[in-house]
Amino acid sequence: MSTVTTSIVTPDGPVLEADYEMVSCTAENGELGILPGHIPLVAPLKVSSVRLQIKGRTDYVAVSGGFLEVRPDRITILAQTAESAADIDVDRAEQAKKRAEKRLQDKQANLDQIRAEQALNRAINRLEVASHSR
Ligand code: ATP
């Protein structure tokens, strides 16, 4: 089966580069499944998981926002943060989730509520992706 070279990059450096048969991710507009030879595309991504399939295996990476760029021979994801499932510190994500939930219960300014919701979203996403770690 043909493959497409896929890289995930953050401001801290590259997180992953490998060949995959299919890459699925969650754009602001909905789910995308990218196969080799896909037409060029740029799409903003949600805080979500990127699922990368090769030879019956699926690798999972948690991304916090960013952009997907598709070219026929290459997929690039530029994300603010990205962690492979095995690299996620579950205790840290659980602590972040608790902190965010506590902040959401407190009556505070709107900005803090939005930031707490975003932090909660990131933590829930990391915990979901970490659950796929083998
Ligand atoms: P925290 O409050 O735990 O820092 P956060 O959502 O505010 O969580 P980010 O600002 O999104 O953290 O990320 C800061 C850096 O820490 C990034 O490099 C990110 O990849 C890393 N990171 C955040 N949470 C985790 C985690 N649970 N496991 C591994 N790396 C993490």
Q: How does residue 52 score in pLDDT terms, banded at 50, 70 and 90?
A: very high
Domain boundaries, the chain: 4-85, 89-133
Residue among 90, 15, 40, 54 at smallest CA distance from 24: 54
Q: 97-117, pLDDT tens digit by residue?
A: 999 999 998 866 666 889 999
- CATH number, domain 4-85: 2.60.15.10
Range 62-83 average pLDDT: 96
Three-class SS state of 30: strand
User: Would you state the pLDDT for residue 4?
Assistant: 96
Residues at CB less than 6 angstroms from ligand 1: 12, 64, 81, 83, 87-89, 92-93, 96, 119, 122, 126
Of all protein residues, whose CA lies closest to atom 15 belonging to ligand 1?
81
Q: Under CATH, which architecture does the 89-133 domain have? A: Up-down Bundle (1.20)
Beta strands at 4-10 and 74-78: parallel, antiparallel or unpaired:
parallel
